[in-house]
């Protein structure tokens, strides 16, 4: 029975928070007979997160990379469609860097599209009643930086690897301090499990309208 090698990345806490739901989700995932799972916690630091990611991809040799990150203020799981070659940090990263209007990677394309089956993932989530959508912006902070760097890495060096990014909302204990939407850890973890399963299925993408009007 073939075993898929799956790398899940998550981020440390940032922006004054003491926890990051992406890391708690990742640490709650479990391997199966068909999945060899590796989890890595990345620093919320421009450039450094890409170096750490590249080292782990080289050593682990994954078939699939799913990157997770926190999007406080969002109310559902956000399956990110596109990453842009722009850093424009509203707040400093965890080492005090605050790049503004710079490229993630000089000379790289303006944007990369996700290499995950987003519509299949979305259908799996909706079929189980988990709030989710396809997002057309991953921001211009470290999450977009990582997504762009990941997609550049696999596009140029590991063309058979699938990869992409999912943003998750605040946990309830975070949201109560901000008056923001939240989602339980259990629901988010189940959602990422469903996304992982959808990525490993050998099935066509469903025809599913998931765009935006504005």
User: Tens digit of pLDDT for each residue in 131-182?
Assistant: 999 999 999 999 999 999 999 999 999 999 999 999 999 999 999 999 999 9
Whether residue 214 is contained in a domain is answered as no
Active site residues: 80, 143, 167
Mean pLDDT, the chain, whole residue set:
97
CA distances from 43 to 14, 20, 28, 51, 103 (A): 9, 11, 19, 10, 19
Cα separation, 43 vs 48, in Å, equals 7
Per-residue tokens: 154: 């696999």
The confidence score (pLDDT) of residue 89 equals: 99
Number of domains in the chain: 1
The candidate with the shortest Cα–Cα distance to 66, out of 185, 183, 199, 179, is 199
Whether residue 36 is contained in a domain is answered as yes
CA dihedral 122, 31, 112, 205 (to 10 degrees): -40
CA distances from 33 to 2, 63, 124, 203 (A): 9, 15, 21, 20
Instruction: Please report, for the domain that includes residue 139, its CATH number.
Output: 3.40.630.20
Whether residue 206 is contained in a domain is answered as no
The confidence score (pLDDT) of residue 207 equals: 84
The confidence score (pLDDT) of residue 202 equals: 87
Whether residue 209 is contained in a domain is answered as no
Bridging pattern class, strands 82-84 and 111-113: antiparallel
The candidate with the shortest Cα–Cα distance to 193, out of 44, 3, 40, 6, is 6
The candidate with the shortest Cα–Cα distance to 137, out of 154, 114, 158, is 114
Paired with 105 in beta bridges are none
Which residues span the domain enclosing 193?
A: 4-200
């Amino acid at each position: 029975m073939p075993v898929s090698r799956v790398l899940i990345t998550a981020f440390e806490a940032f922006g004054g928070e003491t926890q990051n739901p992406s890391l708690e989700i990742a640490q709650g995932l479990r391997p199966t007979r068909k999945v060899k799972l590796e989890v890595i916690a990345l620093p919320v630091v421009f450039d450094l997160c890409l170096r750490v990611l590249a080292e782990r991809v080289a050593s682990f040799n994954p078939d699939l990379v799913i990157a997770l990150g926190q999007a406080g203020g969002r109310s559902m799981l956000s399956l990110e469609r596109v990453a842009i070659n722009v850093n424009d940090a509203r707040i400093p990263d965890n080492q005090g860097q605050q790049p503004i209007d710079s490229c993630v990677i000089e000379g790289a394309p303006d944007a990369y599209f996700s290499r995950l089956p987003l519509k299949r993932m979305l259908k799996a989530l909706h079929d189980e009643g988990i709030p989710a959508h396809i997002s057309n912006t991953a921001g211009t902070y470290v999450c977009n930086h990582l997504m762009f760097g990941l997609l550049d890495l696999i596009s140029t060096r590991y063309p058979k690897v699938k990869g992409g990014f999912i943003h998750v909302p605040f946990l309830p204990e975070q949201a109560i301090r901000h008056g923001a939407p939240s989602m339980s850890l259990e629901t988010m973890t189940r959602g990422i499990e469903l996304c992982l399963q959808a990525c490993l299925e050998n099935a066509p993408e469903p025809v599913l309208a998931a765009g935006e009007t504005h």
